[in-house]
């Protein structure tokens, strides 16, 4: 297929649905995701669409809602969730923060699980209603509707009261040179506090977030213990992360 034909297809999909992921476009075009990324870069520079993390949206579309983000990359999130679930073994107190991947993770937790969960992620609460063995402590603060999390000074002060065996961090962006960064400073500040109060930090990230950078620095990669992605642990795309002496799952 010629480049111009790919451009036409991408623009038709965006016009019809207002959004599309790299994965969806690559499948429909029968090309690699890297090819789709390059095409979208060209179209974005021309103002014909807006590039967002994981795909593109129409220039007239509103920013992706929380539900839109939750619906993206379902297969990747399931893989990450199953890997993360194994890391709960033996944990008595657990931190979980924001991010749509956490919805898949919490949904995968066995119904008979028993531990204490401390979170600022309001979106998780309805998923936990049937887990009678999980004690849920919700951190207060200012409610951010776009992320469905509580953030701010109050959240940080409350988080400092607790110690956890393990902290599951939802990643905004991960770069092998810069480290872990966040797009919202208040979210990043909460992550810093939770890291400092946990014995072990496990970062959950789909492959689309690798080698991307946001404006607020959370930590160096050497500060975390484990990185869980939807890729096989021996995938070459993860080679840049092995030098930090962290576990890669």
Tell me where in the chain the CATH 1.10.10.10 domain(s) lie.
3-62
Question: What's the mean pLDDT in 140-154?
Answer: 95
* Per-residue model confidence (pLDDT) at position 63: 62
For residue range 158-168, what is the model confidence (pLDDT) as tens digits? 999 999 999 99
Domain 3-62 has CATH 1.10.10.10: yes
5 three-state secondary structure: helix
Question: What's the mean pLDDT in 94-112?
Answer: 95
Tell me where in the chain the CATH 3.40.50.10470 domain(s) lie.
74-248
For residue range 22-42, what is the model confidence (pLDDT) as tens digits? 999 999 999 999 899 999 988
Report the predicted TM-score, pTM, of the whole model to 2 decimal places.
0.79
Least confident of 111-115, 127-131, 211-215: 211-215
Q: Which two tokens stand for residue 129?
A: 């209603």
Summary count for the chain: helices (H), strands (E): 8, 15
* Per-residue model confidence (pLDDT) at position 106: 96
CATH code for the part of the protein at 74-248 = 3.40.50.10470
Separation of alpha carbons 29 and 121, rounded Å: 37
Q: Which of 94, 219, 162 is nearest to 105 (CA)?
A: 94
* Per-residue model confidence (pLDDT) at position 180: 96
Q: Which two tokens stand for residue 105?
A: 């993770």
Separation of alpha carbons 51 and 19, rounded Å: 10
Q: To the nearest whole number, what is the mean pLDDT of the chain?
A: 92
* Per-residue model confidence (pLDDT) at position 50: 82
């Amino acid at each position: 297929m010629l480049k111009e034909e790919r451009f036409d297809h991408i623009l038709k999909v965006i016009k019809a649905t207002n959004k599309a992921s790299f994965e969806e476009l690559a499948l429909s075009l029968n090309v690699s995701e890297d090819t789709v990324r390059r095409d979208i870069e060209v179209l974005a520079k021309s103002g014909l669409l807006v590039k967002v993390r994981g795909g593109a949206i129409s220039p007239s579309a509103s920013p992706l809602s929380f539900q839109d983000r939750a619906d993206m990359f379902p297969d990747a999130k399931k893989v990450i969730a199953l890997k993360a679930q194994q890391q709960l073994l033996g944990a008595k107190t657990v931190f979980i923060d924001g991010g749509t991947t956490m919805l898949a993770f919490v949904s995968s937790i066995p119904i008979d699980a028993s531990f204490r969960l401390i979170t600022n992620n309001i979106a998780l609460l309805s998923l936990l209603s049937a887990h009678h063995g999980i004690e849920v402590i919700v951190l207060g603060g200012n409610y951010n509707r776009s992320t469905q999390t509580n953030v701010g000074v109050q959240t940080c002060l409350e988080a400092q009261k607790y110690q956890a065996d393990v902290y599951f961090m939802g990643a905004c962006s991960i770069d092998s040179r810069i480290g872990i960064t966040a797009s919202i400073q208040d979210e990043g500040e909460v992550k810093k506090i939770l890291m400092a109060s946990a014995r072990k930090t496990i970062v959950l990230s789909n492959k689309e977030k690798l080698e991307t950078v946001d404006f607020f620095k959370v930590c160096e990669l050497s500060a975390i213990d484990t990185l869980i992605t939807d890729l096989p642990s021996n995938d070459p795309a993860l080679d840049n992360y092995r030098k930090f002496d962290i576990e890669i799952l």
